[in-house]
Amino acid sequence: MEPKKNPKSDLNKNRGLFFITGLMLVLALSYVALEWKTYDDHLAFSQYLTVDDPLDEPVELIEFKPPPPPKPPVAPTELDIVPDKTPIEETVISSTEPDEDKPIIEVDSIPEAEDPIEVDVTWVSIEEVPIFPGCESATDKRACFEKMIIKHVRKTQRYPDDAQEIGAQGRVSTMFTIEKDGTINGVRMRGPHKSLENEASRIISKLPKMTPGKQRGTPVKVSFSLPITFVLQ
């Protein structure tokens, strides 16, 4: 069977040649496009490039002048003398040198001033404690004093009516001073209610006069603290 197609009209015959030719053409165009350079015309920009002339005008310098100094005050030609109404007392400086003509005072003729020194000693540090009435013959006067004062509180204590109505109770801390003559003074207290404080003050005021405490054989003031407890039954 004979082929119907003319062998001279076969398009695939030179296909490879056409492909290589087209590829080389494309590469050449790409190279030319990458290497293409353009230059600006120098005359086209000459009309925009202008150089200004340098300034030849002189610059005016401003000179600052400081203000003139103030004129010194003019002294008055005449002085007004005002009389001094207050007399001036001159200070006389006496000599510190001893006067040989002045007689020497005997030491025995100078009176000695005795200034009593007030000493307030606490109950813990007192040498001879105050003596509560009835403890004069006791061996331990300190223990006897504390025992008798507690007995005095229990005997004298009364519960205030207004404190009972409101249910007030607690401990009242009292502090007082046994003076050098054995009397009670300087009563201070602090408690939960005013009525209880007043009752504690009344109890302390009922204390009898005591024999004062002594420090180195001299009567002194002695401070004593006494807590008084109020408990509702």
Handedness of CA 206, 211, 216, 219 (dihedral sign): positive
Predicted pLDDT at 49: 45
Predicted pLDDT at 1: 52
pLDDT in tens, 133-145: 989 888 999 999 9
Give me the mean pLDDT over the 186-200 stretch.
90
Q: Where are the domains of the chain?
A: 120-230
How long is the chain?
233
Give me the mean pLDDT over the 126-130 stretch.
90
Given a cut of 50, whether residue 7 has pLDDT beyond it is yes
Give me the mean pLDDT over the 125-150 stretch.
90
Predicted pLDDT at 45: 44
The CATH number given to 120-230 is: 3.30.2420
Burial class (CB in 10 A: 0-12, 13-18, 19+), 130: buried
Predicted pLDDT at 161: 87
- The pTM assigned to this predicted structure is 0.49
pLDDT in tens, 65-117: 777 888 887 766 666 666 666 666 767 676 677 666 767 666 665 566 565 55
Predicted pLDDT at 208: 92
Predicted pLDDT at 58: 63
Interior/surface letters 64-78, b for 16+ CB within 10 angstroms, e for the rest: eeeeeeeeeeeeeee
Query: Among 98-107, 109-118, 197-206, 211-220, whose mean pLDDT is lowest?
Result: 109-118
How far is residue 8's CA from residue 13's CA, in Å, rounded to a whole number? 9
